[in-house]
Amino acid sequence: MSVSTAATARTVCAPLPVLGRDVTVPLVTGGEVTYAALDYAASAPALQRVWDDVAAYAPYYGSVHRGAGYLSQLSTDLFENARRTVAEFLDCRSDDQLVFTRSTTDSLNLLARALPADCQVFVFETEHHASLLPWQDARVTYLNAPRTPGQAVGTLERALAERDPHGPALVCVTGASNVTGELWPVRELAAAAHAHGARIVLDAAQLAPHHPVSVRELDVDWVAFSGHKLYAPFGAGVLAGRADWLAAADPYLAGGGASRKVTRREDGGVDVEWHESAARHEAGSPNVIGAYSIASACKALTEAGFDDLVAREEYLIGRVRAGLAEVPQVRVLSLFGDDAPRVGVISFVVEGWNSSHFAAALSAEYGIGVRDGLFCAHPLVRTLLGSDPQTQGECGAPEAAPGEKSLNAIRVSFGAGTPDEHVERFVNAVRELVSEGARWQYRTEDGRCVPAV
């Protein structure tokens, strides 16, 4: 990105208003500071727009579907309109089905339950656990971590060429890594999958908050994401895509809402006729506020314009990467190399520091919230860290088992609501911690590194 483009991104596209932007936190060294939330990859703060929309609807909250009262009718319309809004945001096909779930993890577990018999699943070891682990009951082929986007496509093509061409198959792939932020070649992987008679599901948990996601253009069969990554933290997620496997599968949960007709049999049992629509997998009282909040976030991001949002985020990415590059002790983790396009997610290690200790110092001494550990992507982080030494400081890695080598990293992540000042404070804090060391003592408590009192 050129200097002029970066300047334009900074002046034309301001951060979107989010909750918590004025929250102050205490420092162990004394005083308070405005909290710098740089852990968007775990949960993004709620957009102010989302919060306001939910607050305006809350007095009218009512039961969804089949209620005769005004509030029930209004809530039902709101719920189904939210489904249409999210489908438009994802540019779904006209015959696609959109199911509201609890999260990306829930969405992919639902799809795993809907797999046809004897389905073979192909998944890279680089996936988040949400997309790595749900397929345990299927025939799973785990693919080694690629080192270039082209290698990813080639690895998948070779694996698919060796499969039984007559059985069903599914490829699961992330759109943007929750560890490195790197964008994956989704369209090319989808083409490879379809060329070999397989389907593909896209884990868009880290992609949808940062870039537009078009089911049509990417040519994926399903897409899954979470509301809490998309500035809508009210416990809802989405699975959208082909209806046939979902309609043929038993309901994800059995209960009211999923059933169309229930009758007693003469032998004392019951017969059930299940819905074939999205309701088939939405048993129980739907999370109306969760669905509405996702739709609100989709509208807010669309209205803000992804071109502007991406341009500004690229400026922030460039500033963080340039700042970290100035510190020789810092090594940024990457699969595809420095030039790979990415979203605002960057993981790194610091020579001479245990990552848990470093993250704790950023929080306690600078009011900066980042994440440390293996980021629910253990195989990928272990591959990226390899045998790099991790100095065992005052605090150990929370995910290191007894007797296991301490392997963990630090992750900084940001997005549409991140002010420039938070990024600048982070870069300066990294530089200062590396050059001058922590100003406080730390200890391990319940597996976490905390300031000693």
Q: How far apart are CA 138 and CA 134, in angstroms?
A: 9
Q: How far apart are CA 188 and CA 191, in angstroms?
A: 5
Inter-residue contact 221 to 242 (CB < 8 Å): yes
Q: How far apart are CA 408 and CA 429, in angstroms?
A: 20
Helix, coil or strand: residue 9? helix
Q: How far apart are CA 370 and CA 355, in angstroms?
A: 11
Q: How far apart are CA 243 and CA 99, in angstroms?
A: 10
Inter-residue contact 13 to 308 (CB < 8 Å): yes
CB half-sphere exposure, 165, CA atoms < 13 A:
7
Q: Residue 207 has which token pair?
A: 């992609």
- Residue 118 zone, left/alpha/beta (φ > 0; ψ -120 to 50; rest): left
Q: Which residue has the tokens 């990928």?
A: 380
Q: How far apart are CA 369 and CA 361, in angstroms?
A: 10
Contacts of 132 (CB under 8 A, 6+ apart): 123, 125, 377, 379
Inter-residue contact 167 to 141 (CB < 8 Å): no
Choosing from 92, 119, 376, 449, the catalytic residue is 376
- Residue 348 zone, left/alpha/beta (φ > 0; ψ -120 to 50; rest): beta
Active site includes 376?
A: yes
Inter-residue contact 61 to 288 (CB < 8 Å): yes
Cα–chain center distance at 398? 22
Q: How far apart are CA 111 and CA 201, in angstroms?
A: 9
Helix, coil or strand: residue 196? coil
Q: Which residue has the tokens 């300047």?
A: 7
Catalytic residues: 376
